[in-house]
Each structure stands twice: as structure tokens, then as C-alpha cells.
Structure 1
Amino acid sequence: MAADGLTTVESPFGPKETMDRFEAQIMAKGMSVFARIDHAAGAAAGGLLLRPTELLIFGSARAGTPLMQADQAVGIDLPLKALVYEDAAGKVWLATNDPRWIARRHGLGAATAPNADAMAAGLEGLVKNALKSP
């Protein structure tokens, strides 16, 4: 069962290449990359096994600030995040939170809907471009 507000797309690439391609799309759009966290490496450092799992924290002040101006608690969900992971069957997935879901979660009104819609459309485009064959 999919988590509420989570968009997950299968990648035709390996985990590292998927994240590298997605990060390149973010940077090409002039967005900020705040952190890239390798959960599998963290698990290994603790003596635990975890299939490839990386989190990218990224965003744009122009896109996210209007949502936080409406309700500063939105900052718990921003900047945006993308998770790339390999499942037990060896399939690779790219998951993101839907900005429209974030807006609904925080009870934001119609005034922020255009921002959330634009963020969602932009994110969908980034994912699509990152996962298309070269």
C-alpha cells in the first residue's frame, strides 16, 4: 500500500545513477541541494545491512516560501525530499512527497494552491526527465 501523499516511480537505472540523474535535474533548474544522505552507508557504519537507499533534500525559496508564509509549520515538510531505494526484488524506485498533499496536510487554502500545483508539476517534470532513457 502506498503511503499517503507519496509518489513513487520505478527507475530503469541503478540506485546511484537514478539519484545522480535526479540531482543533476535539480541543479540544472537552479534549485538548491541541501543534503544527500546515504542511509545504507549509515546502516553499514552501525553494523547493519540496508539495500541502497539515498535521500536528497532540495528546494527553491521562491517555490516553498509562499507555503511557509501561509503556515510556518509547513517547514517540517520543506525543503522537498526525494528517496531512491532498491527493493528486495532488485527494482529501483524514486519517491517524492506531493506538494499538493503537503498543502492539504497543513490545511492551506486556495491562495497557495497555484504554488503547490506549480511545485507538483515541476517535480513531476524533474522525475520524468531524470528517468528517461538517454
Structure 2
Amino acid sequence: MAKPSKPLRLLAQDADDLSVLSAALQDAVAKIGDIRWDAQSRTLTIACNRFRWEGEGRTGERVRSALQFGDVSGVQARNLRRDAKGAIVELLSIGFEPAEEAPAGVVTLTFAGGGDMRVSVECLDVALADVSDPWATPRTPGHAD
């Protein structure tokens, strides 16, 4: 019997940390309706199904995860239909571009199909947490070389 895996819990407070989160979230899928910006609390939260690249074994696994950005001053989306709440998006990468005055900057979430989201932050304050047990998936994401 395989040993149970520990849930992933990561924090990012600089660009290097964010690159680790980006790798862990590569190929995560989410519904547009599961992306929520709360301007009053200055948070952007994304509930997604993360592919467990760190998983062991022959079959792939996904796990329900939550990604939250703090100190958000604004969010802009391009080629993402906010009115299509059930539409599925696939996250490819997360990057950070520092502003002239540190520690502020812009986090860019790049999605398959040409969509992206720019998240203006006062500082990098990002948390990723697995919130379910993993389940087997027959599909492993593929990437062109």
C-alpha cells in the first residue's frame, strides 16, 4: 500500500519563492467562477485542481488546492470571459515583475489559450495550500518541446 502524501503548503514572499509556486501549479485547472477578487480585503483567491507533479507512482494525481494573493491593489484580465463562470482555464505559469518602488510589483498568471491575469500587489504575499486528498487522473498534461 502506498504511503499517504502530505498536503502541499507553500508561501511566496519573493520572486524565487513564486517560481516554486509556479512550478507546483503548472497545468492546474480552474473554473472562471472559482477566481475571486475581494477588493475590500485586498485578496485574490483561486480554487483549482492542481496536477501533482511531485506525486509518485505510475498514475497521475490531482488535488484540490487554494492559491491566495494578499495586498492586492488591482486585477486585470485579458482573454478571460468573467461572465462564463463555468469555463475552464489551465494555468501555465506565474511570473513577477517588480515595480520601481520595492516591494510592489505585478504578478502575471498566464493561461493556456492566450489568457492572462495581471495582479498588482503592494508586496508578494502568496499562499498555496492543498485542501483535499489527491485522486487518480488518467491524463498527464503534455507539453511541446
**Fold match, TM over 0.5?**
no
Q: Whose strand proportion is higher, 1 or 2?
A: 2
TM class, shorter-chain normalised? under 0.3
Give the TM-score taking structure 2 as reference length: 0.26
